[in-house]
Structure 1
Amino acid sequence: MARIQPTPGTDGATGPDGDGTGTGRRRKAVRYAVPVAVAGVAAATIGITSAFAGTGDPDLPRISAQDLIAKMAQSDTQRMSGTVKISTDLGLPSLPSGASFGADGKDGKGGKGGGHDGGKGGAAPSPESKLTELLSGTHTLRVAADGPDKQRLSLVERAAEYSVIRNGDQLWAYDSASNTVYHSEAPKAPAEGKGGKAGQDMPKGLGAASPQELSKKVLAAADESTSITVDGTAKVAGRDAYQLVIKPKQGESTVGSVRIAVDAKSGVPLKFTLAAKSGGKAVVDAGFTKVDFGKPSAGTFAFTPPKGAKVTEADEKAVGAGRDHKNDHKSGLPEALGLPGVGGDASVAPEVTGEGWASIARFSAGKDAGTAVTGKAKSGAKGGEKNAADAGALLDSFGTKVSGGFGSGRVFSTKIVNALVTDDGKVYVGAVDKDALVKAANAAK
């Protein structure tokens, strides 16, 4: 089979493929997919079944889960263009009228003097901050790549478009809503063979929502707590694909399954679907509606700031960079699912207990956070009793009161992630059920 060129934005190191599976050979790690070692680890520890894709539509040759993962790892796709539709339903609670979980408003337009990086006249929003707009609703992304140094990704809104363009050593971000531009030199990719990840040159943000990146992270995080099988075939964006299904073995996990449609010819993930154990609408459904593996036109990666646009150079923005992105709207989804983590002080690394899909992050948010979740006002505070009653009523609509050996607190839930915040400001977060969080809090005492 002819080799496909590497897709930009992924691993470029080499690693062993053998771990007791009997293959005993080494393959070149690719820029696009998971490291080749994942295929070997899967065969030895994940508990891959001997399921085959022999039924369904289209009719494709049978393939085992192990071989399909290896096919993804060997995929070298470097050139492609297409349209991705992403729908997200985290099951976040409804906020009072006029409030929003995002800071940029309905169409991602920064508010006057506010937003992530300011409204009109400010700096262009960062790719990281734009990612938060994908945490609810349905959105359209347009993507294009021609090797590791030519990439374009755009978030298309009803009346505006936000684009990140890398062309050689130049990196641009353009927000048509505010007519603002951010410009910097593109980061240099590490040399292959030195443990670097060649091609990971676009800023973190919108690219993390692509089917490729979502699939890569989940497979890279898979371990013995994971079951992987092939479950039929599908047509995605007009192409034949195998369906790879990933399921947690641990009963306390809130994840039902992850389904990845893998292009039968190239090994590129075309669709990623995350389902909650509780059922209902998919939590994340990201897939190509159109895809072309031909060479995009050179003009796709050309960019000149429009007339009248305010251009912010990287040096001008450096001072506020840490403040702008440190605590941008954390969603709480595990990092392996390709979405931002849960907040608190982002500078403090959490302790992690448990393993695999049942892992729980623990950190301290401070006594003020504990006071907030109890709905209690500080002693002597003006209007304390009324404020406490109002806060308690609001929190009751969002969280559930719990208690145990750790004391008491509230559990705040989405379809996938639950978070326990104790009265003394300890936070326990994971893609696990409420009982698992309470057990972790009790064990920490």
Structure 2
Amino acid sequence: MPRNEPTQVTDGWDGGRSPGRRKAVRYAVPVAVAGVAAATIGLVPAFAGSGSPDLPKISAQDLIAKVAKSDVQQLSGTVRVSTDLGLPSLPGAGGGAGGFGGAPDGGEKGGDGASAAPQKKLMELASGAHTLRVAADGPEKQRVSIVDKAAEYSLVHNGNEIWAYDSGSNTAVHSTAPDAGRHGKQHRAPKDLPGGLKDATPQDLAKQALKAAGDTTSVTVDGTAKVAGRDAYQLLIKPKQAASTVGSIRVAVDAANGVPLKFTLTPKSGGAAAIDVGYTNVDFAKPAASTFAFTPPKGAKVVDGDKAQAKTPREHGKDLPSQKDVKGLKKEMGGLNVLGKGWTSIATIKGDGSGLPSGKDQGAGGDAGKFLDSIGEKVHGSFGSGRVFSTRLVNALITDHGTVYVGAVDKQALIDAANAAK
């Protein structure tokens, strides 16, 4: 069989396929990719396994269609997640194994369920390396466990029940899943399942990256690889817009069933991948029913998530901004606008003129200003002046008038946007 070689995707490559097929092969704007990285995730070379298998040649169009048509709903395996966004270390930011417990005192204050709250795990996946054990059996049963040396966090959906358990604080939160989808029509986990955990597998990341294609993107099939012991094609996505900070996105696609096995986003600046998520082992057989059974361990603190959620608005509703307040805030800030398109889209929020404190400021704001001066680069333009805060993927310009420009673009693109909006 001929060895697969790179295949270029050009404008109008659809080749007469149906509108549904064309829709399935569109690609995501990089701001969405950056959002996944922030919320949402290089890895060791061993991930790809050994050797490049000989596979029948396939076009990029057909490979993307293969991903879109894949309907694998039963699997189990281990996923390795690594993120290296180049975020600055903030004063007082903790981490490590103890992060699972949540409370600074080692978990004693975790009895209210805060340490087991799924949203808390999102921040942990935003940096460093993590191992996840995943399993799924259709839309009714999923399990994701974040495994650490000292603790394990599990999120289990089984029918109408959802359990979140943090072994670090021995706390479990039990909630009831919505009835929607209990008749076999819903092919997704319930909305209660937090996106940052639910979307931590290569399949979900790839789907988010394959939503919108056009003249801003180059798509090729760049050879083959072995991932988790399975033969895979490598789909290579590269921005054509020079100002993008994204170098490339590589998706390893299972040659047999179209399931993405590995997702790698590399910054244009080079070095290790900013986001790298891939299976180290995977089995597409039906998982054992016991995989989705959960009983809180002896002595565990069990919190009723439904009651806690219903109780919170009544007790603290007066402290939360009303819908009217939110609309008023948006109006005062000038609203959120998006400039440009594709990989160089820039989100902007108009400021109120106050800006950020400077290291020259006296009083309480002085220390904050000095810290900002140490991590932000002072820039100037016809818009005035401001600071650019940079990561390996996303950059943000905050002007001295308080207007914010942010995107997966280089510094000059932000300055140009601010100058044009002047």
| 2:255 aligned partner | 264
SS at match of 1:408: strand
Stretch moving more, 397-406 or 428-437: 397-406
Q: 1:401 aligns with which of 358, 378, 397?
A: 378
Q: Counterpart in 1 of 2:112?
A: 122
Aligned twin of 2:321: none
Taking a change above 3 Å as real, the CA distance of residues 104 and 139 of structure 1, as seen in their structure-2 partners, is closer
- Whether 1:141 and 2:132 are equivalent positions in the alignment is yes
Contact map agreement 1:360 1:428 (CA 8 A) in 2 = yes
Instruction: Tell me, yes or no, if structure 1 residue 61 matches structure 2 residue 56.
Output: yes
> Cα distance, 1:246 vs. partner?
0.5
Q: How far has the Cα of 1:387 moved from its partner? A: 5.1
Match of 1:167 in 2: 158
What does residue range 333-344 of structure 1 map to in structure 2 within 5 Å? none
Q: Contact 1:421 / 1:427 at 8 angstroms: preserved in 2?
A: yes
Q: Would you say the 8 A contact 1:189–1:198 is kept in 2?
A: no
Q: With structure 2 as the length reference, what TM-score do the two structures score?
A: 0.80
* TM-score w.r.t. length of structure 1: 0.76
Aligned to 2:270: 279
Contact 2:60 2:235 in 1 (8 A): yes
**Whole-Å Cα distance in 1 between the matches of residues 87 and 20 of structure 2?**
45
**In 1, are the aligned partners of 2:75 and 2:137 still within 8 Å (CA)?**
yes
Q: Is the Cα–Cα contact under 8 Å of residues 109 and 119 in structure 1 kept in the other structure?
A: no
Please, which of 399, 403, 406 is the counterpart of residue 426 of structure 1?
403
> How far does the alpha carbon of each residue in 1:335-383 deviate from its partner, in whole angstroms, 9 at most, with x for none?
xxxxxxxxx99xx862111101100111146556x233x3454xxxxx5
**Aligned with 1:358 (options 344, 348, 360):** 344
Which of 412, 421, 425 is equivalent to 2:389? 412
Within 5 A, what are the aligned runs for 1:297-308? Answer: 297-308=288-299
Which residue in the other structure is 2:421 paired with?
444
Partner of 2:172: 181
Which whole-Å CA distance do the structure 2 matches of 1:192 and 1:317 have between them?
A: 26
Q: Distance in 1 between matches of 2:249 and 2:109?
A: 37
For residues 247-271 of structure 1, the C-alpha deviation after alignment (integer angstroms, 9 at most, x for no partner) is 1111100000000000000100000
The residue type equivalent to 1:112 in the other structure is: P
Q: Is the 8 A contact 1:237 1:289 kept in 2?
A: yes
Structure 1 unaligned segments of length 5 or more: list them: 1-17, 28-35, 43-55, 324-343, 378-382
List per-residue Cα deviations over 1:9-36 (Å, max 9, x = no partner): xxxxxxxxx9963234867xxxxxxxx7
d(CA) in 1 for partners of 2:290 and 2:182? 28
Query: Offset of 1:410 from its aligned partner?
Result: 0.4
Give, in whole Å, the separation in 2 of the partners of 1:171 and 1:64.
41
**Are the aligned partners of 2:262 and 2:278 in contact in 1 as well (CA < 8 Å)?**
yes
Q: CA deviation at 1:173?
A: 0.7
Matched, 1:82 2:74: no
Does the alignment pair 1:21 with 2:15? yes
Q: Please give the alpha-carbon distance, in whole angstroms, between the structure 1 residues aligned to 2:390 and 2:420.
A: 21
Equivalence for 1:46: none
Backbone CA RMSD of aligned residues: 3.2
SS of the residue 2:79 aligns to? strand
- Can you list the C-alpha shifts for 1:220-258, whole angstroms capped at 9, x where unaligned? 144331111000000000000000001111110000000
Note if contact 2:106-2:169 (Cα within 8 Å) is conserved in structure 1: no
Map of 1:246 onto structure 2: 237
Aligned AA (1:109): G
1:223 to 214, 217, 233: 214
Which of these residues, 178, 184, 188, is aligned with residue 199 of structure 1? 188
Letter in 1 for 2:73: Q
Match of 1:45 in 2: none
Task: Report SS of the residue matched to 2:119.
Answer: helix
Task: Show the counterpart of 2:45.
Answer: none
- Compared CA separation, residues 218 and 189, structure 1 to 2 (3 A): farther
**How many equivalent residue pairs?**
371
From 335, 352, 356, the equivalent of 1:371 is 356
Whether the 8 Å CA contact 1:189–1:200 is kept in 2: the answer is: no
d(CA) in 2 for partners of 1:321, 1:284: 36
Question: Are the equivalent residues in 2 in contact too, given 1:255–1:416 (CA < 8 A)?
Answer: yes
Alignment partners' CA distance in 1, 2:310 and 2:377:
41
Match of 1:72 in 2: 67
Contact 2:386-2:400 at 8 Å conserved across structures: yes
CA positional deviation for 1:309? 1.8
Higher helix fraction (1 or 2): 2
Question: Following the alignment from structure 2 to structure 1, what is the Cα–Cα distance between the partners of residues 101 and 350?
Answer: 33
Q: Distance in 2 between matches of 1:125 and 1:217?
A: 27
Residues of 2 paired with 1:190 and 1:352: CA distance?
34
Given that 2:83 and 2:126 are in contact with CA atoms closer than 8 Å, whether structure 1 keeps it comes out as: yes
Structure 2 CA distance for aligned equivalents of residues 354 and 321 of structure 1: 39
Aligned partners of 2:224 and 2:232 also within 8 Å: yes
C-alpha change, 1:298 and 1:230, in structure 2 (3 Å) is same
Could you list the per-position Cα deviations for residues 176-207 of structure 1 after superposition, in whole angstroms to 9, with x for gaps in the alignment?
A: 111111111113445999xx963142332212
Partners of 1:148 and 1:134 lie apart in 2 by: 24
Name 1:6's counterpart in structure 2.
none
Q: Deviations over 1:100-134 (max 9, x none)?
A: 2x67875433123799xx94222143322201101
Alignment counterpart, residue 145 of structure 2, candidates 146, 149, 154: 154
- Closer/same/farther in 2, CA of residues 188 and 402 from structure 1, 3 Å limit: farther
